[in-house]
Amino acid sequence: MQCSRCSHLMSISDEHVAEMDLGQSVTVKQLNCSSCDKCVALSFSDAWNTPEDILTDDTERNGWFEVSSPRDRVVCYALSQIMYRQFEVPEEEREEAIFDQPDPTDIVMIFWLKGQAIGFYTIKPKGSLVERTMEHYAMHTLDTAYVRSVKRRQGYGMRMLQNITSSYPGNDIGFSKPISFSMWKVLRKYLQHNADYRNKFWEIEGTGGEGNQKLIWYAIKFQDKKKKTLHNE
């Protein structure tokens, strides 16, 4: 198989294959390039496929679908750990963090566009437990979110927020810190058009308990005020 990053030819040998546990008894094998160390192919149920092929589905699905099948878990892995982490490399200065694998209690949603997986988000449901601290999430919380770079600035971020608010109508929604620059832009736009949610979106630290939540609309207004003051000085 040929590496799509550096064109190096790879044979499938154990020395470059790692087995990844995706939870709920799903595993995937990953072949990494011996030259650039990026993923060349993934194997799930025996056949080897490029990460791009894994993201293509012959069902022509359109819209948001909750991850339920083992194959969907592999799609999510390809998006979060290969596309985002290796190929489109998060920018730390834009507050883009590396994602952990979702916990079994997380709700994982993938956006499909004519059978192509182009993004995903994960929700920590209200009440879910963090075993390390024994704390429970105070509200439904958006923990990780990603849209493939070729599909950015086309309204998918807005569709993500619309999907979240329609899944939990009228509920408070948390957004885990750090919130990326691009997510702040989407939040600003969403709240400008949806006044009902201005007192329901929270930037949260940890599980968002008391003292660890800040109203997002307030933070946006505060930034605007600061900009104005700087401008007038």
Question: Which window, 28-36, 130-138, 145-153, 224-232, contacts Zn ion (CB under 5 A)?
Answer: 28-36
According to the binding rule CB under 5 A, does residue 3 interact with Zn ion? Answer: yes
Of 6, 9, 89, 130, which one interacts with Zn ion (CB under 5 A)?
6
Question: Which window, 31-39, 70-78, 162-170, 183-191, contacts Zn ion (CB under 5 A)?
Answer: 31-39
Cα distance between the two ends of the chain: 60
Residue type (1 letter), 211: G
Question: Which window, 35-43, 45-53, 179-187, 191-199, contacts Zn ion (CB under 5 A)?
Answer: 35-43
Bridge partners of residue 30, in order along the sequence: 18, 42
Give the CB-side neighbour count of residue 231, counting CA atoms within 13 A.
Answer: 6
Residue type (1 letter), 217: W
According to the binding rule CB under 5 A, does residue 41 interact with Zn ion? Answer: no
Of 28, 31, 33, 123, which one interacts with Zn ion (CB under 5 A)?
33
Q: DSSP character for 28?
A: E
According to the binding rule CB under 5 A, does residue 36 interact with Zn ion? Answer: yes
Handedness of CA 147, 110, 45, 58 (dihedral sign): negative
Residue type (1 letter), 133: T
Q: By C-beta, is 9 or 130 nearer to Zn ion?
A: 9
Site residues for Zn ion per CB under 5 A: 3, 5-6, 8, 33, 35-36
